[in-house]
Structure 1
Amino acid sequence: MSSTKTSSWLVLAIASGACAAFNGVFAKLTTTELTASWSSAVSQTFHLSPSNKVVEFGIRGLFFALNLLFNAIMWGLFTRALTLASSTVRVSVINTSANFMITAILGLLIFSESLPGLWWIGASMLVAGSVIIGRRDEGTE
C-alpha cells in the first residue's frame, strides 16, 4: 500500500474520531446547565434580560444543529477511511482511540471534567484490546 493512501485513511480515521468527540460535546451542550449560563452572558452582551429564553433556545438549537452536522461529517469521514484502508479493524481502532482521547481533553477544557486514573486504565485496555483483535484479524487474512 502506498504511503499516500496509508496517510489518507489514517488522517480520515483520526478526523472521524475527532468529529465524534465534538458530536458528543455538542449533544451535551444542548442539554447542560453550562449552556444556560453562556446564553445569559450572550443576552447581557446584547443588553437583554439574562434569563431570555429565546436566546437560550436559540443557542441550544445551534448546538443541536452542530451535533447533527458533526455526526454526519463523522460518518462521511469514517466511511471514506474504510474504503481507503486495507483493514476495517485498523480504521475502527484509530477512530475509537482518537474519539476517546479527544473526548477526554474536550471534557476537561469545556466542562472542567477530570477523569480518574481508573478511566485512563480502562480506556487504555479498550484500545489495547482493539489493537490485539485487529492484529489477530490481520493475521487470518
Structure 2
Amino acid sequence: MFFQKMQFAFVAGISAALGSVFGKLSGSTRTLMQLVNISKVIFHVNEEYVLFGLRSTFFILMIACNASVWSFYVRALQHSNSSLPATVISTATNYIVSALLGVFLFGEKTGLLWWTGTSLVIFGLAIIAKKEEVIVVKKFE
C-alpha cells in the first residue's frame, strides 16, 4: 500500500538522477568526444555536426527529465498526507541512483565516507518524516 502511494516519489527521484546524468553528458567534452569519435568511425560524418547534435539531444533530455521530476513529485504530494514522505523517498532515491549511475557510467569513486554521509542524511529525513506522521495522526484523533 505504501509503495503504491509513493511510487511517484520513486520515479521523481530516478528522473532527477537521470536529469543529472544527461546534464553531465551535455557539458562533458571528454565523454562527448568519445561518442563523436565512435560515430566518425561508423558513420563517416562531420565532427562538428555530431558534437552539436549530441549536446542538443542530451540538453533536451535533461530538461525533459527535470520537467518529469516536478510532474511526478507533485503527484506524489497529492497521494500523501504530508509532504515529508514524498520528499524523503524522492531525495533518497535520487542520492542512491545518482551514486550508482556515477559509478557505472562515469567511473566515479564513492567511498565509505560518501555512503555514510548519504545514509545519515536519508536517516535524518526519515526520522523527521516519521515524527511528522505521528503528529498528523495524533492531530486527527
TM-score (norm 1): 0.91
One-letter identity of the residue aligned with 2:129: G
Segments of 4+ moved more than 6 angstroms: none
Please report how far the alpha carbon of residue 37 of structure 1 lies from its aligned counterpart in structure 2 after TM superposition: 1.1
| Cα separation, 2, equivalents of 1:54 and 1:133 | 50
Stretches of structure 1 that go unaligned for 5 or more consecutive residues are none
One-letter identity of the residue aligned with 1:25: V
- Return 109-118 or 18-27, whichever deviates more: 109-118
CA contact (8 A) 1:40 1:56 kept: no
SS of 2:18 mapped into structure 1 = helix
Matches within 5 A, 1:44-123: 44-48=41-45, 52-123=47-118
The equivalent of 2:12 in structure 1 is: 16
CA contact (8 A) 1:85 1:91 kept: yes
Q: What is the alpha-carbon root mean square deviation over aligned residues?
A: 1.2
TM-score (norm 2): 0.91
**1:41 aligns to 2:38 (yes or no):** yes
Please report how far the alpha carbon of residue 56 of structure 1 lies from its aligned counterpart in structure 2 after TM superposition: 0.7
Please report how far the alpha carbon of residue 86 of structure 1 lies from its aligned counterpart in structure 2 after TM superposition: 1.6
CA contact (8 A) 1:19 1:74 kept: yes
Please report how far the alpha carbon of residue 13 of structure 1 lies from its aligned counterpart in structure 2 after TM superposition: 0.7
SS of 2:109 mapped into structure 1 = coil
| Cα separation, 2, equivalents of 1:40 and 1:71 | 29
Please report how far the alpha carbon of residue 114 of structure 1 lies from its aligned counterpart in structure 2 after TM superposition: 1.6
CA contact (8 A) 1:16 1:95 kept: yes
Percent identity of the aligned residues?
31
| Cα separation, 2, equivalents of 1:83 and 1:54 | 44
| Cα separation, 1, equivalents of 2:109 and 2:23 | 19
